[in-house]
Amino acid sequence: MNSQNKKRNAPHEAGGWSPRAVTFRVMGIVNVTPDSFSDGGLFMAADAAVEHALALVREGAAIVDIGGESTRPGATPVEDREELRRVLGVVEAVAAARSGSRIETVPTAHPGAQSSADAQISPDAQSSADAQISIGAQSSAGAQISIDTSKSSVARAALDAGAELVNDVTALRGDPAMAAVIAERGAHCCLMHMRGTPATMQADPRYGDVVEEVKRFLAERLEFATSRGIAQERVLLDPGIGFGKTLEHNLELLARLEELTELGAPLVVGTSRKGFLGQIAARAGAQEQPVGVSERLPGTIATCVMALERGASVFRVHDVAPVRAALATAGATLGARWTARSTTNVRG
């Protein structure tokens, strides 16, 4: 073992690992849309969307992200009224269904048995044969509800209905009133990098250094949010994998993700079922066309595990149970992290 590896395996050594635990949260995707790239139309009926959201919570989602407007490449905007019609009843019903989550512990050998929100790997996980994962939601609130929107009118109504987080793919640029709505209600928000709009973002995106440009953008949006009264501890940052990026850009961001942890906010990563994973799988199998959406789970799991190791703490996915199990296993092997990063609970 070389000296660098010795240092990484000495969690209590001065200047070595941080004593913090490895934490992560899984954000389950609920698309109440007819045209999302992966599951468009499957949950357009409110009762189907609500049942799907609750199923994701049972699988271990700490957050359910409910959206009524597709942001897939080439998507066109939806009117405020229509977006609100799609999501408001779903948010209300999921909020009404939240109750009674309790703290429990289960062996790391059976991560699939975990049934509620948070997952935290103890710092001693690497050296303890009976390491436990602490599972639970803050008090009895259950999973957190996120509204995936860039419209302040939709965000306002959803927050009033029980949502606590606004996932804005425009990073507060799409609606000048959005920051005030979030600040006034003391909500959390996720700010994402995107080049252009969903309709135009994949039209020949180019960067000098994609990681540096995304980092500068997120730093500026974080500063903007706090200047508008949003508490920094309530802000999450998302590099926007697949939003105005080529395959190579996505891979570079994932490879250097740890550089973004320097911004001091929890990082959200959303690689789930995305096209670049289909491209990679096709190349590996010498296929001409990207593999289909249903065959992209292995790539989703691989990228989430790598992102966890590189500092991400929130993972936005369609397939909650298998991703969460993989992250629990990865977290148990990582134990205490040796790099400084934020593990702030997004509930604040």
Helix axes 320-334, 46-59, angle to 10 degrees: 20
Taking the C-alpha atoms of residue 170 and residue 150, their distance in angstroms, rounded to an integer, is 6
Assess if residue 279 is contained within a domain: yes
- The pLDDT tens digits for 18-49 are 334 568 999 999 999 885 555 556 777 889 99
CB-based contact 236:314 (threshold 8 Å):
yes
For residue 86, the enclosing domain spans 21-334
- The pLDDT tens digits for 108-159 are 223 333 333 344 433 333 332 232 222 233 322 479 999 999 999 999 999 9
pLDDT at residue 337 above 70? Answer: no
Determine if residue 254 is left, alpha or beta; phi over 0 gives left, psi from -120 to 50 gives alpha, anything else beta: alpha
Q: Is 215 designated active site?
A: no
CATH number at residue 233: 3.20.20.20
Assess if residue 5 is contained within a domain: no
CB-based contact 309:22 (threshold 8 Å):
no
Over residues 9-23, the mean pLDDT reads: 41
Assess if residue 342 is contained within a domain: no
Q: Is 274 designated active site?
A: yes
pTM of the model: 0.78
Place of tokens 């928000």: 189
Which of 13 and 20 is assigned the larger pLDDT?
20
Which of 112 and 203 is assigned the larger pLDDT?
203
Assess if residue 4 is contained within a domain: no
Assess if residue 103 is contained within a domain: yes
The pLDDT score that the predictor gives to residue 102 is 31
Per-residue tokens: 96 = 């009404």
The pLDDT score that the predictor gives to residue 208 is 94
- The pLDDT tens digits for 274-321 are 989 999 998 888 888 888 888 999 999 999 999 999 999 999 999 999
Assess if residue 6 is contained within a domain: no
- The pLDDT tens digits for 237-276 are 999 999 889 999 999 999 999 999 999 999 999 999 998 9
Determine if residue 287 is left, alpha or beta; phi over 0 gives left, psi from -120 to 50 gives alpha, anything else beta: beta
The conformation of residue 267, written as its DSSP 8-state character, comes to B
Catalytic residue, chosen from 25, 195, 245, 274, is: 274
Question: What residues does 317 pair with on adjacent strands?
Answer: 28
C-alpha distances in Å from residue 162, one per residue of 58, 104, 154, 159, 177: 19, 25, 12, 5, 20
Assess if residue 14 is contained within a domain: no
Tally of structural domains, the chain: 1
Catalytic residue, chosen from 72, 310, 316, 324, is: 316
Query: Which residue, 335, 282, 280, is CA-closest to 302?
Result: 280
Assess if residue 190 is contained within a domain: yes
Taking the C-alpha atoms of residue 16 and residue 32, their distance in angstroms, rounded to an integer, is 46
